[in-house]
Structure 1
Amino acid sequence: MQLTPVTADEAAYLVADATVDHTHPLVRETAARLGETADDLTAYARAAFEFVRDAIPHSCDTGDPRITWRASDVIARRTGVCHAKSHALAALLRAEGIPAGFCYQKHEVLHGLIALKLPGGRWIRQDARGNRPGVDAQFRLDREQLAWPVRPGKGECDYPVLYAEPHPVVLRALRSATDMDQLWRLLDTAL
């Protein structure tokens, strides 16, 4: 899928903020640990993706009622929905100088994923939602292998915009929801 960045300034996709807090000691420590076995940026990006996908379960898969949104909290608590996991993955990538942004799909609710850009490459989406039976998201640079393809006949769509920051609708939902039911109601929206 061809993504349209919200800004041509690639530096915007490296910024640390309250959500993508890649200067936080835990994020830095995790990035350093993941980098110990990576011999280049591609290997590091794969290790970060696999860490978020596999070591941080999706809250709904485990029945964990906690709602996380800040990257460091997602890593510390080892839980999050797709959006929160995307925040963590973007933080880990940005911590090592890999531009990462946020993109979305509309399914029954809004689904969050990231896109990254390695040196000399193009923006390519990655979905660290977490695998389970019927879901096989993989780190791929040659083609996308996301958790779910969209089904336009069912009103689903890929949003082609690549945001430097998480979309305000997503942040508002994550920060204000008091439980998972409310979170999904807040994310039952279009961008």
Structure 2
Amino acid sequence: MELIQQNPDLAAYLAASESVDHEHPVVRAVADDLSRVHPDAYAYAESAYRYVRDAVPHSADSGDLRVTWRASDVLEQGTGICYAKSHAYAALLRARGIPAALCYQKLADDDGSDPVVHGLVAVLLPDGRGWARQDVRGNKPGIDAQFSLAEERLAWTVRPEFNEVDYPVLYTEPHPAVLDALRAAPDRPALWRTLPAEL
């Protein structure tokens, strides 16, 4: 899949914001801990990926009813859905000067019903390969996402026959439909009723 850069200025993919708040002390502390052990950009990007994927449970898997949307809250509270975990991973990357973008898929049930937007992160490392999408949702039986620059190892591969879509745009900030749903939800059951079905 060809990724379309929304903003040609790479500085925008390094910026801090309310949701990707990489200047927050909690984000900085995690980034410092990871970079002490993995100072190389490649090793750091993979260790940050594994940290968010494995140390921060997906709230649906763990049964956590809290809704997080700021990267610092995801890392501090140790919970989040795919969007929130993507914000956390993007923040950890940007905290170490690694360009990170937010990107999305539209997924559906096996019969094509109940579409929902799924959140990913694209990372840009200085290897000349370009942007590489990563999925920090968290693994469980049937899902085996891995950090990979050579070939995508996402939780799901889209199935066009079910109207699933890889959205090609690289966003500097969360898509408004995603952020609005996260911010408005008092708990995860309410969020489940308002997740965007498409972008």
The two structures have a TM-score, normalised by structure 1, of 0.97
Separation (CA, whole Å) in 1 of partners of 2:160 and 2:51? 31
- Aligned partner of 2:112 in structure 1 is none
* Higher deviation after alignment, 148-157 or 48-57: 148-157
- Structure 1 residues without counterparts, runs of 5 or longer: none
Q: How far does the alpha carbon of each residue in 1:85-132 deviate from its partner, in whole angstroms, 9 at most, with x for none?
A: 000000000000000000000013110010000014300100000000
- Structure 2 residues without counterparts, runs of 5 or longer: 108-114
**Seq. identity, %:** 60
Q: How far does the alpha carbon of each residue in 1:5-40 deviate from its partner, in whole angstroms, 9 at most, with x for none?
A: 111001100000110000001100100000111141
170, 173, 178: which one aligns with 2:186 = 178
- Aligned partner of 1:152 in structure 2 is 160
What RMSD in Å do the two structures reach over aligned CA positions?
0.9
Q: How far did residue 160 of structure 1 move?
A: 0.6
- Aligned partner of 2:145 in structure 1 is 137
- Aligned partner of 1:115 in structure 2 is 122
- Aligned partner of 1:61 in structure 2 is 61
- Could you tell me whether the CA contact under 8 Å between 1:27 and 1:91 is conserved in 2? yes
Moved over 4 A (4+): none
Separation (CA, whole Å) in 2 of partners of 1:57 and 1:145? 19
The two structures have a TM-score, normalised by structure 2, of 0.94
Letter aligned with residue 92 of structure 1 = L
Letter aligned with residue 66 of structure 1 = R
Q: How far did residue 179 of structure 1 move?
A: 2.5
Q: How far did residue 178 of structure 1 move?
A: 1.9
Q: How far did residue 180 of structure 1 move?
A: 2.1
Q: What are the within-5 Å matches in structure 2 for residues 61-140 of structure 1? A: 61-107=61-107, 108-121=115-128, 122-140=130-148
